[in-house]
Amino acid sequence: MSEKIAYTPLGKETPRRKSSKLLKHLAVGALLVFAGYKAFSHISDDEPPINPKESILDTLKINLAGDWLKKYTSEPHLAGTNYGFVEWTAQKFEEYGFTLSIDEYEILVSYPHEQALHLLKSDEVVYTAPLKEDVLEDDKTTQGNDTIPTFLGYAANGNVTAEYIYVNYGTLEDFEKLNKLGVDVNGKIVIARYGAIFRGLKVKFAQEAGAIGILLYSDPGDDNGITPANGYKQYPDGPARQESSVQRGSVQFLGGVGATPGDPTTPGYPSKAGAEREDPHQSIGKIPALAISYREVKPILARLNGHGLKIKEKGWVGELEGFDYSTGPNEKFTLNLYNDQIFKITPLWNVYGEIEGDNKDEVIVIGNHRDAWIKGGAGDPNSGSAVLLEVARALGALKAAGYKFKRSIILQSFDGEEYGLLGSTEQGEYFAKSYQKNVVAYLNLDAAVVGKHIHFSALPTLNHILREAAKEIEYPEEGVGSVYDDWVEQHDGKVGILGSGSDYTVYLEHLGIPSADIGFGPTKGDKLIYHYHSNYDSYHWISKFADPGFVYHNLAAKYLSFLILGLSEHQVINFRLTEYASALKKYYDEATELVPKKWLKQEVTDEDSWDDLLNFDEDVEYINEASSGIYFDESPLPFVDLLKVQRTCHSGQVRGLLNTKHHKNATLHDLIEYTQRDFDRLHNTTVLFDQSTRDLQFQFDHRDSLNFWQKIKLHFRIKVQNKLLKYFERNFLHGKGLHERSWFKHIVFASGRKTGYAAQTLPGLKEAAEDGDFKRFVHWLGIVSRALKRANAQLA
């Protein structure tokens, strides 16, 4: 209970004092002049003669990533188990000069106990799936008595027997299609192949369609042609998928309607000891589920040949030998699916390490999870954990040499990411206020190195920094050039859009903090299958197939260290907003293209609540809290009148346009055009704003030519600029959250409600259009328009 109070929902207690402003401003002003003078003299006179980039490259000439990977893959470390790894990670952070904390939460998880799968013909068992991956002589991780069973986290317990049906990927569209074609899944067990959407949503859609159990398997048709049928040998003799390999994973309803990430018993608030608990079934399923290998599913699916429908569309047919992809059922055969797991609320541990910078209220966070579904987990997440330790070592050496960082740097090793972003979500909820106040950017690792080519997904604000760092690092392969050159070659220089599926979710989508997700992976030319969440994601696999010599682990550590410098060491935070504004315009075009033609002429009335000033006030208060008093703060920084200016201009414009009481109402077409101008205006503003960011940094770099007062003035201009840059993202939060997904507060970036992982931009608008909900579309147009005005008023 008390923990719920610690997490006061933002925006409720906004102080607005109005006393003796002038005196106070003078006093604060004098103090700040002094502080500014000190800051500048410190920077210009005492700067130690250390070149941080040289120091980092020097430290990383020795490559210890393989040692760390060996350690992290030596024992099982499911969420909430292996406190030894917690202590070891903590000890490493400390050894490298980071201030340490271990942060404990009590979270619902499930551990495997017993599971079974039988194929029956009129009550007689004709096949029993072993539910085990093969032990391989070459791969030590697969041996021993401590491998983790093939199970699905949070899958409900149950013992069900029924006829079964092949449902392709088990997407919502797949279930809708089957329903339309008269294939009834009600009361059946369904079999879905992995791919297309997050596995937890397959379970959700199956359950909602009336299925009583679900099996998930990896179809060779989803292996990009790297299959035995095409002559590729299976692991460990070649790069193809080992036929007994099983993808474990969570079946939490991540990103689905009604669900929240994190502990399913504490939606939206931290699960510290003693927290109040709720029924978890908004976020986890009620039907049993198992994951199996393609070898195990073969004899089961082969029994469906010629039964039910054969859907001949391209997306419906995989490449499983001996199966003709009929839907079934075959009334002669049933499956018995038994799942028994131990559900319990148990301690999980995050480990944090901090190097304090000169500006303690400007923090760069880099995080990775520590828990894995399997004993190895060499790629996911331990390549990330190994890289994180190498980054710690490089930055630690820099600190030890006497270097003073401008901004604080915090490393985070999360527990329980695999079950549903548990450790990161709970801490994000617990530390919401201080993170929103202080964190400049969050960088996420995960499966950091499972191939040779860098890829990013990020907020457009960070694109520039991501590219700059990549240009500075040489690519290890002869003749390629820089990491940047390889990226352009392999990924066309495209930065992905963040959806969900890793620990950045709470930072970006709940708190509005600019985030990036970074890793090295295979591309199509590489002919390499990653055994995701299988026993074969092992030290042997990485060191033989994905990264012999740990060359790319070393590269990742260099890259991330440079990236951290790029974020922390510029006097003016090195964000660029123009790319953000351009991306917004593109997302808006996509959203308006979804609008049905007949909506355009439709009139918008007061009831459609576009001009919702009540909502406007609520959001301003919410964002004021989330951005450390940017609207109501009494500091001498020039934000004080922002709100007034905005409110007047906003309501004036809106009334002028709509004139709802006295004249004809505006049509949706009018509103779309009106909002288009908000996007254009923000774009124009960001062009100038980015120019001023560059100018200020330039002046700072040449500050020696400035006199005392010019220096003081520059100091304050940079302070204001940094505040605007730091809190820019918060403008895109909406206190009430997305439609039916209130935990997701970001109005531009979310995961798809039907996909779980994949990104959805401007979800309020796009979902309303998809649902054919005119009123909701209009409402979200208002929310978006106000956010753009808010951002524009701040920057202009």
CB 773 within 8 A of CB 748: no
Q: Which of 435, 185, 199 is closest to 327 using CA atoms?
A: 185
Residue 508 has what DSSP assignment? I
List residues bridging with 343 in a β-sheet. 110
Which amino acid, 526? Answer: D
**Minimum distance from residue 149 beta carbon to ligand NAG (Å):** 14
**Minimum distance from residue 146 beta carbon to ligand NAG (Å):** 6
- Of 568 and 675, which has the nearer Cβ to ligand NAG? 675
**Minimum distance from residue 585 beta carbon to ligand NAG (Å):** 11
Interacting residues toward ligand NAG by CB under 6 A = 145, 159, 161, 338, 677, 680-681, 684
- Of 63 and 161, which has the nearer Cβ to ligand NAG? 161
**Minimum distance from residue 592 beta carbon to ligand NAG (Å):** 17
**Minimum distance from residue 338 beta carbon to ligand NAG (Å):** 5
Q: How far apart are CA 89 and CA 94, in angstroms?
A: 9
- Of 760 and 785, which has the nearer Cβ to ligand NAG? 785
Which residue matches tokens 């393609």? 294
- Of 464 and 681, which has the nearer Cβ to ligand NAG? 681
**Minimum distance from residue 652 beta carbon to ligand NAG (Å):** 17
- Of 229 and 796, which has the nearer Cβ to ligand NAG? 796
Q: 746 is written with which tokens?
A: 């970001």
Q: Where do the H-state alpha helices sit in 47-129?
A: 52-59, 65-72, 83-95
- Of 160 and 411, which has the nearer Cβ to ligand NAG? 160
Pairing between β-strand 164-166 and β-strand 189-193 as defined by DSSP bridges = parallel
**Minimum distance from residue 122 beta carbon to ligand NAG (Å):** 14
Q: 388 is written with which tokens?
A: 């994180």
CB 394 within 8 A of CB 340: no
Residue 738 backbone dihedrals phi, psi, to 5 degrees: -75, 165
CB 255 within 8 A of CB 500: yes
- Of 16 and 113, which has the nearer Cβ to ligand NAG? 113
**Minimum distance from residue 161 beta carbon to ligand NAG (Å):** 5
- Of 677 and 736, which has the nearer Cβ to ligand NAG? 677
Q: How far apart are CA 612 and CA 610, in angstroms?
A: 5
**Minimum distance from residue 85 beta carbon to ligand NAG (Å):** 19
**Minimum distance from residue 677 beta carbon to ligand NAG (Å):** 5
Q: How many residues does the chain have?
A: 796
- Of 338 and 599, which has the nearer Cβ to ligand NAG? 338
**Minimum distance from residue 188 beta carbon to ligand NAG (Å):** 15
List residues bridging with 350 in a β-sheet. 103
CA-based angle 400:387:422, to the nearest 5?
Answer: 110
Q: How far apart are CA 541 and CA 234, in angstroms?
A: 12
CB 588 within 8 A of CB 681: no
The count of other CB atoms within 10 Å of the CB of residue 698 is: 11
Q: How far apart are CA 298 and CA 287, in angstroms?
A: 23
Q: How far apart are CA 409 and CA 392, in angstroms?
A: 10
**Minimum distance from residue 292 beta carbon to ligand NAG (Å):** 17
* Three-class SS state of 422: helix
Q: 408: alpha, beta or left, given left = phi > 0 and alpha = psi -120 to 50?
A: beta
CB 619 within 8 A of CB 650: no
- Of 316 and 338, which has the nearer Cβ to ligand NAG? 338
- Of 273 and 688, which has the nearer Cβ to ligand NAG? 688
Sign of the CA dihedral with 59 first, then 61, 67, and 69 last: positive
- Of 145 and 707, which has the nearer Cβ to ligand NAG? 145
**Minimum distance from residue 689 beta carbon to ligand NAG (Å):** 13
Quick one: angle between helices 65-72 and 383-400, nearest 10?
130
- Of 174 and 678, which has the nearer Cβ to ligand NAG? 678
Q: How far apart are CA 426 and CA 422, in angstroms?
A: 6
Burial class (CB within 10 angstroms; exposed 0-12, middle 13-18, buried 19+) of 65:
buried
Q: How far apart are CA 650 and CA 610, in angstroms?
A: 12
**Minimum distance from residue 684 beta carbon to ligand NAG (Å):** 4
Strands (E), 188-288: 189-193, 213-217, 249-250
- Of 114 and 695, which has the nearer Cβ to ligand NAG? 114
